[in-house]
Amino acid sequence: MIEETAPPPRGARSDEVTDALAMDGSRTEMTYVTRMTGDLAEGQTRLLEPEKAPETRPSLPRNGSASTLVVVLLLLGGLLLWLRFGGAGMLLSRAPAAQKKPVAAPEAWNISAADQTNDPRQLLDQIAAMPDRAAALVRLLRHCLLAAAGETDTRLARADTERTAFRRLPQGWRAGAALRDILTRAELAHYGGRPVIESDFAATLDLGRSILLRDARHA
């Protein structure tokens, strides 16, 4: 049994060795016995507890960075709400479709911008009621040419004739064949002096109706 102990002897570099071992994670203990009885195995014993592995914890954002992120998100959310519902809501709203302006008619056609904005159905009724069928076909032709120019974004010159205006339209336009028939019939009646038969006039009016009414739906 150990009855008396004393500090172990230390050399000149003992402190240096101890510090080095401590930095390395090693633990060293030494008991210097000065007096004992019996066997050393019967002396004081102390079980060393095993070292516990360091606990690993998930890294959390620092308080400063987390609070900054929350503030930024709140500011962005408030800005979006203000842009959507506040005074600047027009920035996120859909712009209204721009209304097309009527195409300027050549001077010789005697068609005003106000006449172009009339209801196409009312215009067709007026043309159908005209006693001069040749003049009625010319009026129908000119309005159909203006409707086609507006639909295809074609600009007409001030001195254009009906045939010149027709040539300006892009090839392959949806009602190109119908407009060509109206042009031919109007020229034969107005410039060629051919009499207009009522059945031909009604058929030509139907061709003009297919152009003017569809153009009105898509304006």
**What pLDDT shows up at residue 18?**
73
CA pair distance 76, 120, nearest whole angstrom: 51
Alpha carbon separation from 118 to 3, 26, 86, 108 (Å, rounded): 124, 101, 39, 20
The two tokens of residue 46 are 């102390």
User: pLDDT under 70 in the chain at which residues?
Assistant: 1-3, 10-13, 17, 20-33, 38-65, 84-100, 215-219
Which residues, 6 or more positions from 44, have their beta carbon under 8 angstroms from its beta carbon? 1, 2
Q: Taking a C-beta distance cutoff of 8 angstroms, is the pair 154, 148 a contact?
A: yes
Alpha-helical runs (H) found in the chain: 14-23, 63-85, 113-116, 120-128, 133-151, 162-168, 176-190, 198-217
Give the closest residue to 172 by CA, choosing from 182, 184, 164, 180.
180
**What pLDDT shows up at residue 202?**
97
**What pLDDT shows up at residue 5?**
73
Q: Taking a C-beta distance cutoff of 8 angstroms, is the pair 32, 5 a contact?
A: yes
CA pair distance 179, 144, nearest whole angstrom: 7
**What pLDDT shows up at residue 70?**
79
The two tokens of residue 86 are 């506040």
**DSSP assignment letter at 189:** H
